[in-house]
Amino acid sequence: MIILRLDRVMADRKMSLNELSEKVGVANVNLSKLKTGKVSAVRFSTLNAICRVLHCQPGDILEYADDEEE
């Protein structure tokens, strides 16, 4: 399964959801769903914009965990 770590990266950068939403150009509600892991897909253009604004790599936001480990 894929675990989303956007909340951790945002906290490390001391960036609020509203600020990230403004800078990325994605609605607050959509980023909130991404932050809480309640999405089934992420557009590469959105991921690219998030990484650009947060100065991070996609691997900082997305993490793979084997389903069998849980």
CATH of the domain at 14: 1.10.260.40
pLDDT of residue 68: 73
Report the distance separating Cα 25 and Cα 2, nearest Å: 24
57: phi > 0 → left, psi -120 to 50 → alpha, else beta; which? beta
Domain that holds residue 19: 2-69
pLDDT of residue 65: 92
pLDDT of residue 26: 94
pLDDT of residue 69: 58
pLDDT averaged per 10 residues in sequence order, the chain, 70 residues:
94 97 95 91 95 97 82
pLDDT of residue 63: 93
**Neighbour count for residue 68 (Cβ, 10 Å):** 5
Number of domains in the chain: 1
